[in-house]
Amino acid sequence: MDGKSIICSTDAMQKTGKIAIEEHWGNQELNDLRTEWGKRTGYAVTVDPKAIAYSFPRMLDFDKFRLPSMDEFGITMQVISTGSPGVQGYADTRKAISRAKALNDAQAEIIHKYPGRFAGFAGLPTQDPKAAADELDRAVKQLGFKGAMIQGSTNWEYLDENKYWVIWEKAEALEVPIYLHVQEPSFATAKLYEGHPELTGATWAWGVETATHALRIINSGVFDAFPKATLILGHLGEALPYLLGRLDEGFFMAAKSGRKLNKALSEYIRSNLLATTSGLYRPETLLCAITAMGEDRILYAMDYPFVEPKASVDCFMRTPLTDEVREKISHLNAEKWLKL
């Protein structure tokens, strides 16, 4: 079976109940924040707004767009979070802290309004790592959230730095994952794409930035210090599952300046990382991720509203999987890892 010969009916899509865990919502404040962040950082828009003109109204309206779409394509639950740049986009630390609380409260109201259809990942004010850890604690214990989504770096600082370890410590203690979402690369890295805007954004730059961020976290020793901490990467692991042997070979040969880890890089990816199916991919890519990381560590996600729901579900349904593995990725793994 080559994964191309299966065309899924809406009936088949509905029968396989799915929990989707990288699903975004927003409001006018968050949309304005994206514009303000772009002006402040000097970043040009890396996504053609005409290509995804449907995304903004879908992001806001739950009754007209989101819930009917979920019902049509068999999405029993979405784990929702704010879109990029999220809380990481605020320049002022005090404002980031106050707005994180307000946005998380607003998200909790959405979840409460539609019982059983939504769960949430918290937005964290990483501009103040201690405040971020405190907000994660509040969001999990008081609002019932299932972890946090962090929108990449914070002012080009990465989560491997020691000052951010308080967040990892809290996540391990609460037994909830941190989902690392894609973001624009630093300005130094962005020079790689000069003259080739088609390679920015989702084509290449976001994945490279996020995969590198994840490797920084692993190589810093975060998972040696907090072995039960869990990092989620979208887009089938941002290519890391396909490089396990190369990563181990490279680390062995690298000039490491005395850096030591308790395990091989590939073992952290197999034991501390989860990957989701967010975005579009080819069926053979999902099969590779399952082989590399294990069928218990891959979770379904759509990346709503930026991906057409039918295309996302069709990619998943025409991947040749056993019924047992399909059920795990569809919803059982999310239920286990997020305690749904």
Domains of the chain: 10-338 (3.20.20.140)
Q: What is the pLDDT of residue 191?
A: 87
Is-contact 134 167, C-beta < 8 A? no
267's enclosing H/E stretch is helix 265-271
Q: What is the pLDDT of residue 274?
A: 98
pLDDT, tens digit only, all 340 positions of the chain: 344 434 444 455 556 799 999 999 998 898 888 888 888 877 766 777 788 878 888 989 999 999 999 999 999 999 999 988 999 999 999 999 999 999 999 999 999 999 999 999 999 999 999 999 999 999 999 999 999 999 999 999 999 999 999 999 999 999 999 999 999 888 888 889 999 989 999 999 999 999 999 999 999 999 999 999 999 999 999 999 999 999 999 999 998 877 889 999 999 999 999 999 999 889 999 999 999 999 999 999 999 999 999 999 999 999 999 999 999 999 999 999 999 9
Tokens of 179: 């989902």
Is-contact 151 144, C-beta < 8 A? no
Is residue 303 part of the annotated active site? The answer reads yes
Q: Percent helix, strand, coil in the chain (nearest 5)? A: 55, 10, 35
Q: What is the pLDDT of residue 35?
A: 84
| Candidates 128, 134, 303, 314; catalytic one | 303
Q: What is the pLDDT of residue 24?
A: 97
144: left (phi over 0), alpha (psi -120 to 50) or beta: left
DSSP state of 198: G
Q: What is the pLDDT of residue 39?
A: 81
Q: What is the pLDDT of residue 182?
A: 94
Q: What is the pLDDT of residue 9?
A: 47
Q: pTM of the entire structure?
A: 0.94
Q: What is the pLDDT of residue 3?
A: 40
Is-contact 190 180, C-beta < 8 A? no
Beta-carbon contacts of residue 307 (< 8 Å; ≥ 6 apart): 278, 279, 280
